[in-house]
Amino acid sequence: MSDALEEMQLNPQSSGLDPVLGTVLAVQANYYWVQLHPPTPQAHLLCTRRSRLKKIGQQVMVGDEVQVEEPDWAGGRGAISQVLPRQTVLDRPPIANADQILLVFALEEPTLDPSQLSRFLIKAESTELSVLLCLNKSDLVTPEVQQRWCDRLNYWGYAPILISLRAGFGLTALQAQLIDRMTVVCGPSGVGKSSLTNRLIPKVDQRVNAVSGKLSRGRHTTRHVELFQLPRGGLIADTPGFNQPDLTCVPSELARYFPEASQRLASDSCQFSNCLHRDEPNCVVRGNWERYEYYLAFLEEAIAHQEALDRTSHVDASTKLKNKGDGQLQSEPMLARKKYRRPSRRMEKQDLQNLCQDIAQSIAEDD
């Protein structure tokens, strides 16, 4: 809970008459499910947003700490009148005030792909939140394979928590990392994110689907972002799965999202301040570390994205950029738009007088 929220609870008269405070758990259409903070007559209210917030463009996000006016306790309704300052903001998924990201992958079914895992890790690191890595379905591999992955990921800079929802081990260590924190669960489809939420909060009963046998990847089961209260304290958000997160970071910042590279930069510096760590001389990042090839591939993707943004900002007003469906942007001319505006009566009268004068002058010259 933020300092601003605690201050409003201790001194409610400072922000209005008896404000009711809470956290937005879910957003659907124009309604907001708000969990109230004690002391309150009931735990939740279904709220709308005051028109004033809409006029000033104030968005209400999942995770927002809000003030609710004139709650209707009998009907379980209310109206959000204020959004407290946010500590953190995520765009995808749209969540405010999160503390950490729990990245869930499976060791098998689907098989763990180091390139895909690296892509998710980079995306998670770019949020500037703490990153917690969890590997599910550990019972499907041998202890030797488990240890190899742990050693490998330790070298990357992560200490994974191995769990098995099927066999029921590893959950105690994971739960200890979630107490009194707002955690965003991310990862590809089919790795067990919704099943993990069901195990942590049995009454939630999230929908789950099996892994696709043909594609060897999971099917999407979570359709929207929603926060759930953990029994031992804290909130957890199960988010829609996706298999290939976009890398939209600035190319010069990519290296610091690799713990191996940022560790090298912390102990030394490259010769050039704008070094991209490819073929520049005296580069401290370039070298023999496992994920360097991934870094180069992701760098090319980040550079292409930045160039597309630059083209968009410099494109002429007579053209527009259109996505052709393959991830490439193509410039196309905009259709000319004619202005059909009726001239004023004054202008019509002036034009008629000018025409009459021209005709009279032409007749006089002929005579």
For the entire predicted model, the pTM comes to: 0.72
For residue 146, give its domain range: 95-238
Please check whether residues 299 and 196 belong to one and the same domain: no
pLDDT of residue 17: 45
With cut-offs at 50, 70 and 90, classify the pLDDT of residue 62.
very high
The enclosing domain of 262 has a CATH number of 1.10.40.50
CA distance 122 to 257: 6
Please check whether residues 38 and 134 belong to one and the same domain: no
Assess if residue 339 is contained within a domain. no
Assess if residue 358 is contained within a domain. no
Residues 6+ away with beta carbon under 8 Å from 195: 165, 206, 208
The enclosing domain of 175 has a CATH number of 3.40.50.300
Highest mean pLDDT among 5-19, 232-246, 327-341: 232-246
CA distance 19 to 84: 12
pLDDT of residue 9: 44
What's the whole-number average pLDDT of the chain? 80
Assess if residue 333 is contained within a domain. no
Please check whether residues 49 and 147 belong to one and the same domain: no
- Burial level of 120, CB count in 10 A (0-12/13-18/19+)? buried
Assess if residue 34 is contained within a domain. yes
The domain tally of the chain equals: 3
Please check whether residues 166 and 110 belong to one and the same domain: yes
Q: Characterize 13-35 residue by residue with b for buried, 16 or more Cβ atoms within 10 angstroms of its Cβ, and e for exposed.
A: eebeeebbbbbbbbbeeeebbbb
Token readout for 340 is 């059909």
pLDDT 10s digits, 244-258: 788 888 999 999 999
Residue 63 has pLDDT above 90, yes or no: yes
Assess if residue 256 is contained within a domain. yes
Please check whether residues 201 and 286 belong to one and the same domain: no
Residue 279 has pLDDT above 60, yes or no: yes
Assess if residue 262 is contained within a domain. yes
Do the strands 319-323 and 329-333 form a parallel or antiparallel pair, or are they unpaired?
antiparallel
CA distance 324 to 17: 54
Last residue of a domain, one of 238, 262, 291: 238
Please check whether residues 164 and 198 belong to one and the same domain: yes
Please check whether residues 232 and 103 belong to one and the same domain: yes
Please check whether residues 187 and 286 belong to one and the same domain: no
pLDDT, average across residues 214-240: 68
Residue 23 has pLDDT above 60, yes or no: yes
